[in-house]
């Protein structure tokens, strides 16, 4: 074997797919299926910064927006499983959009390698302070007596807030009329002014209005009361155990990603989300963390898909977004 | 006093090194595009929209605003020295301004334009400070019905005030409305007008659309014009006008400022309408009137004050109601949306630093502009020698990069290509594209608010006339339509807009 062949072989060998042991030897792309500046984007940037520091390799955030996150999610699912592309997924992308829109090209469970649960945001059922509704009991009494259904605002048809509203309506037996909005801020303006009675936005979106007294917090969907809003009860303690659930954000990769890479990432993300500075940030933003292994999180996704499907059907949305 | 505290916040934000730099960059760029005929603030803002991702929203707004009012200063330079309006809003300045230049009084003409603009800019800044907070307070109580009626009124005003045929303007507005509602319907999740393309699921990208029409199509149209051999006035002379000139112009500047401030707030208004209005008014009321058209310095002072005042007060409806009065404001809204800020009455309370910082920056920017424009005027004139064969390909290149970079979505490039051809045809057919952009931005908002108000009233359309504010806007809209329909008034309108 002459030197030229040796050099060529060496070249070929170095071009072979990355072995998991040496991962990451190239920059990793972190796809965010939502716009810059939103919750998903902020989370992604926090995680990317810490991952870059730990693995001594750049984790580059790339926003691939569109179709309620379906475009970015499809890009994650279609990437090569070599560990150079991962992305942010969430409740909506995995459990809601596929149930609503049969045309999505990815499967919520088999279409990905689910890596880790990042953070969840509980929904705060709140009423405008212009109304006399101050507690969940007021809400049920008023709602059942009213000749017109009470209205609730959310960030759009098929959004987590919309379906949470449907779930609340089903569990409490109070008829509700959904008023969708394109922008959270416009929705909040209308609830503050009393044009819409209720809000099912996340606690993070509602917190400033709860603090400012423009919203009355009725109940939270978190498993326990939140440290910064100790006065707001949970649905669970008020006797509605079915209304426990959060909108959540997670880290996923393309299918057939090596278990070794997924576990490495899972361990690191679990460490990152429990760092004191990240925790204090999460607390301020109304996020809660639930560390779980990659396998446990994959099961969690399956449970959530099964849980929300009937609600999507109940809301008359199944197969709508074609 | 709140007012002073607010200004303090504003200047605190605007006077940071970073924001001063962006403000300077904005007014400098504004002056450059103002001087250059064929490329205007709308094109420039459209090209800079994709940069939004990397900038802090405050700096971004400060810079984009600087481009808009900065162009009003630059536009007058070309109008006076070359007899070509650098900006559409400087068209009337050519009438008396260039005559002055030919009489060897180019310096005072440039001087009075800058002084008038600075005075008007300062007054307009104060007007925003005083008028915006109460307006936002009222707007906070606007429900969907009020918003819908307000937008109907605004769109009709935009049609009435558009240049050219009313029928074409109506056609273009309706087309804009339809284009605006393409994509996933917010109320039902159903996709409309997407031809089954996933890339259109979120509707037509505003950045791509606006760059197509104001970037590429405008360039194409400008290429058709023969290189007009510009007769540049060499001798500028003393820039500072005499005291007699200033005394002579003071009433004109005052009238121009007031009228410009008022016309700027109107939907469909802004710098262009303000300048036309002010010149027409000045011709009517100024004594002696004979000298207009023959180098009357008041014919420069009034429209130049008015266009700057109008450029600035057109921020009022954008900042307080979230409603754009002209395409540049529509793009500002687009830029804010990219940052997840939806313009409306909440901005003032939730992001006071953004609101007051922007306003404070306008006054600082005006000051910078006076300095940039008076002593350095000779430098700007040299800009007119840049060949368009370098400038236009650069613009097209920037537009393509920008359209793709916004979402990393190739569909946006096809959208831009399609609307470039469309925009070119529009301009060829003398259809003013401004109503298209307004309709495009307002269409989805109008639809949403109408359907939302119907949802809340359980399908009863009477809600639109039961709410007094909503009823008032609708009546105003009907009156505006009657105005257009009445032949006598229509003739007047044509006269006023054709000057």
**Range(s) of the domain holding residue B71:** 2-498
Q: Is A16 exposed, middle or buried (0-12, 13-18, 19+ CB in 10 A)?
A: exposed
Least confident of B100-109, B112-121, B482-491: B482-491
pLDDT at residue A121 tops 60:
yes
Looking at CA atoms only, how far is residue A14 from chain B in angstroms?
31
Contact predicate B298/B81, CB 8 Å: no
Complex ipTM tops 0.90: no
Contact predicate A13/A45, CB 8 Å: no
pLDDT at residue B387 tops 60:
yes
pLDDT at residue B166 tops 50:
yes
The number of distinct structural domains making up chain B is: 1
How do beta strands A28-32 and A59-63 pair? parallel
Buried b (16+ CB within 10 A) or exposed e, B29-57: bbbbbbbbbbbbbbbbbbbbbbebeebeb
Q: What was the pLDDT predicted at B439?
A: 87
Which residues, including other chains, have CB under 8 Å from residue A80's CB and lie 6 or more apart? Answer: A254
Q: What was the pLDDT predicted at A252?
A: 95
Q: CATH topology of A27-120+248-314 equal to that of A124-243?
A: yes
> Looking at per-residue confidence, does B221 or B267 come out higher?
B221
Contact predicate B332/B210, CB 8 Å: no
Q: Mapped to the 3 state alphabet, what secondary structure does B214-269 carry?
A: HHHHHHHHHHHCCCCCCCCCCCCCCCCCCHHHHHHHHHHHHHHHHHHHHHHHCCCC
**Integer Cα distance of A160 and A68 in angstroms:** 12
pLDDT tens digits for range B229-282:
455 555 666 777 888 888 888 999 999 999 999 888 876 667 777 888 888 888
Looking at CA atoms only, how far is residue B190 from chain A in angstroms?
5
Position B378 confidence tier, pLDDT thresholds 50, 70, 90: confident
**Integer Cα distance of B248 and B251 in angstroms:** 7
Name chain B contacts of A180, Cβ cutoff 8 Å.
186-187, 452
* Proportion of chain B above pLDDT 90, given as a percent: 23
Q: What was the pLDDT predicted at A30?
A: 93
How do beta strands A150-154 and A198-199 pair? parallel
Task: Give the 3-state secondary structure of residue A249.
Answer: strand
pLDDT at residue B228 tops 60:
no
Position B494 confidence tier, pLDDT thresholds 50, 70, 90: low
> Looking at per-residue confidence, does A201 or B269 come out higher?
A201
Q: What was the pLDDT predicted at A16?
A: 47
* Mean of the per-residue pLDDT values of chain B: 84
Short-list A93, A83, A108, A90, CA closest to A29: A83
Looking at CA atoms only, how far is residue A320 from chain B in angstroms?
6
Mean of the pLDDT values across residues B96-119? Answer: 88
Q: A27-120+248-314 maps to which CATH number? A: 3.40.190.150
Strongest mean pLDDT among A8-17, B81-90, B277-286, B349-358? B349-358
Radius of gyration of chain A (CA): 22
Contact predicate A86/A27, CB 8 Å: no
Cα end-to-end distance, chain A, whole Å: 60
Contact predicate B477/B483, CB 8 Å: no
Mean of the pLDDT values across residues A20-45? Answer: 82
Name chain A contacts of B339, Cβ cutoff 8 Å.
36-37
Q: Which residue of B has its CA nearest to A69?
A: B202
**Integer Cα distance of B99 and B346 in angstroms:** 48
Indicate the residue of A35, A179, A317 with minimum beta-carbon distance to B455: A179
pLDDT at residue A13 tops 70:
no
**Integer Cα distance of B102 and B114 in angstroms:** 19
Name chain A contacts of B452, Cβ cutoff 8 Å.
179-181, 190
Task: Give the 3-state secondary structure of residue B270.
Answer: coil
| B408/A63 CB distance under 8 A | yes
Assigned token pair, B379: 């430098």
Q: Is B476 exposed, middle or buried (0-12, 13-18, 19+ CB in 10 A)?
A: middle
**Integer Cα distance of A281 and A278 in angstroms:** 5
Q: What was the pLDDT predicted at B490?
A: 61
Contact predicate B357/B23, CB 8 Å: no
Overall size of chain A counted in residues:
322
Q: Phi and psi at residue B10, in whole multiples of 5°?
A: -60, -50
pLDDT at residue A14 tops 70:
no
pLDDT at residue B311 tops 50:
yes
**Integer Cα distance of A123 and A198 in angstroms:** 12
Instruction: Return the ∠ at Cα B302 (arms to B296 and B305), rounded to 5°.
Output: 135
Sheet of A246-253: strands edge to edge?
A59-63, A28-32, A85-90, A246-253, A113-122
Least confident of A16-20, B343-347, B395-399, B417-421: A16-20
pLDDT tens digits for range B49-89:
777 667 888 999 999 999 988 988 888 888 888 777 777 77
**Dihedral sign from CA coordinates of B443, B446, B447, B448:** positive
| B202/A196 CB distance under 8 A | no
pLDDT tens digits for range A124-142:
999 999 999 999 999 999 9
pLDDT at residue A308 tops 80:
yes
pLDDT tens digits for range A242-274:
899 888 999 999 999 999 999 999 999 999 999
Looking at CA atoms only, how far is residue B342 from chain A in angstroms?
7
Top CATH class of A124-243 equals alpha beta
Mean of the pLDDT values across residues A313-319? Answer: 79
Which residues, including other chains, have CB under 8 Å from residue B484's CB and lie 6 or more apart? Answer: B159, B160, B166, B490, B493
pLDDT at residue A322 tops 50:
no
Mean of the pLDDT values across residues B369-391? Answer: 79
CB atoms within 10 A of CB B194: 18
CB atoms within 10 A of CB A250: 25
Name chain A contacts of B142, Cβ cutoff 8 Å.
193
pLDDT at residue A1 tops 50:
no
Peptide bond into B434 cis (omega under 30): no
Q: What was the pLDDT predicted at A15?
A: 47
| B187/A180 CB distance under 8 A | yes
Chain B contact probe: residue of A189, A191, A204, A209 with most B CBs at under 10 A: A189
* Proportion of chain B above pLDDT 70, given as a percent: 92
């Amino acid at each position: 074997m002459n030197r030229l062949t040796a050099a060529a072989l060496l070249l070929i060998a170095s071009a072979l797919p990355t072995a998991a042991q040496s991962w990451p030897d190239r920059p990793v792309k972190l796809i965010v299926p939502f716009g810059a500046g939103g919750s998903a984007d902020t989370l992604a940037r926090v995680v990317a910064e810490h991952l870059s520091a730990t693995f001594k390799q750049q984790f580059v955030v790339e926003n691939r927006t569109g179709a309620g996150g379906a475009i970015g999610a499809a890009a994650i699912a279609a990437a090569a499983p070599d560990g150079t592309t991962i992305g942010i997924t969430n409740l909506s992308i995995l459990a809601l959009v596929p149930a609503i829109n049969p045309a999505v090209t990815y499967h919520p469970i088999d279409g990905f390698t689910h890596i880790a649960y990042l953070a969840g945001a509980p929904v705060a059922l709140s009423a405008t302070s212009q109304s006399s509704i101050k507690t969940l009991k007021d809400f049920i009494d008023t709602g059942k007596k009213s000749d017109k259904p009470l209205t609730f605002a959310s960030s759009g048809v098929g959004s987590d807030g919309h379906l949470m509203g449907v779930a609340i309506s089903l569990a409490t037996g109070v008829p509700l009329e959904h008023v969708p909005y394109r922008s959270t801020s416009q929705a909040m303006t209308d609830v503050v002014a009393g044009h819409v009675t209720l809000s099912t936005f996340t606690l993070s979106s509602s917190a400033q209005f709860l603090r400012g007294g423009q919203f009355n917090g009725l109940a939270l969907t978190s498993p326990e009361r939140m440290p910064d809003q100790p006065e707001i009860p949970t649905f669970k303690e008020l006797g509605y155990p079915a209304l426990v659930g959060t909108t959540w954000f997670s880290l996923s990769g393309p299918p057939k990603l090596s278990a070794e890479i997924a576990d490495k990432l899972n361990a690191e993300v679990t460490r990152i989300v429990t760092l004191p500075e990240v925790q204090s940030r999460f607390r301020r933003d109304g996020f809660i963390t639930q560390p779980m292994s990659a396998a446990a999180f994959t099961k969690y996704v399956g449970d959530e898909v099964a849980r929300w499907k009937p609600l999507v059907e109940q809301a008359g949305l199944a197969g709508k977004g074609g | 006093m709140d007012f002073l505290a607010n200004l303090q916040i504003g200047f605190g934000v605007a006077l940071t090194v970073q924001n001063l730099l962006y403000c300077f960059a904005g007014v400098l760029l504004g002056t450059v595009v103002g001087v250059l005929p064929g490329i205007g603030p709308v094109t420039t803002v459209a090209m800079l929209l994709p940069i939004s991702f990397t900038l802090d929203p405050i700096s971004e707004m400060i810079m984009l605003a600087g481009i808009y009012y900065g162009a009003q200063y630059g536009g007058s330079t070309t109008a006076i020295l070359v007899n070509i309006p650098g900006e559409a809003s400087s068209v009337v300045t050519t009438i008396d301004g260039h005559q002055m230049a030919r009489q060897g009084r180019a310096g005072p003409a440039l001087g009075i334009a800058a002084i008038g603009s600075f005075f008007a800019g300062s007054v307009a800044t104060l007007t925003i400070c005083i008028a915006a907070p109460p307006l936002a307070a009222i707007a906070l109580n606007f429900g969907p019905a009020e918003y819908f009626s307000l937008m109907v009124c605004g769109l009709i005003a935009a049609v009435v005030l558009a240049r050219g045929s009313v029928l074409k303007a109506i056609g273009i507005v309706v087309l804009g409305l339809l284009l605006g509602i393409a994509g996933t319907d917010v109320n039902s999740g159903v996709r409309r007008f997407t031809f089954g393309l996933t890339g259109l699921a979120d509707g037509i990208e505003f950045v791509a659309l606006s760059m197509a029409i104001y970037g590429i199509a405008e360039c194409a149209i400008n290429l058709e014009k023969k290189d007009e051999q510009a007769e540049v006035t060499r001798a500028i002379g003393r820039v500072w006008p005499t005291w007699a000139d200033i005394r002579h112009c003071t009433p004109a500047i005052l009238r121009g400022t007031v009228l410009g401030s008022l016309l700027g707030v109107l939907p469909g208004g802004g710098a262009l309408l303000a300048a036309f209005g002010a010149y027409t008014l000045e011709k009517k009321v100024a004594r002696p009137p004979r000298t207009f058209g023959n180098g009357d310095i008041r014919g420069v002072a009034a429209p130049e004050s008015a266009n700057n005042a109008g450029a600035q007060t057109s921020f009022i409806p954008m900042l307080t109601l979230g409603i754009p009065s002209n395409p540049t404001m529509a793009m500002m809204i687009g830029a804010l949306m990219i940052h997840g800020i939806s313009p409306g009455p909440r901005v003032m309370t939730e992001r006071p630093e953004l609101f007051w910082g922007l306003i404070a920056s306008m006054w600082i920017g005006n000051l910078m502009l006076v300095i940039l424009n008076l002593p350095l005027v000779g430098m700007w004139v040299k800009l007119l020698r840049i060949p368009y064969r370098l400038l236009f390909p650069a613009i097209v290149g920037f537009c393509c990069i920008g359209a793709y970079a916004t979402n990393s979505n190739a569909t946006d490039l096809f959208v831009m290509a399609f609307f470039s051809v469309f925009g070119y045809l529009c301009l060829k057919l003398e259809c003013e594209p401004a109503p298209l952009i307004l309709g495009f931005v307002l269409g989805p908002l109008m639809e949403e608010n109408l359907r939302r108000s119907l949802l809340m009233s359980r399908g009863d359309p009477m809600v639109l006339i039961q709410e007094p504010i909503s009823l008032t806007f609708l009546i105003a809209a009907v009156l505006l339509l009657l105005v257009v329909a009445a032949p006598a008034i229509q003739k007047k309108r044509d006269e006023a807009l054709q000057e």
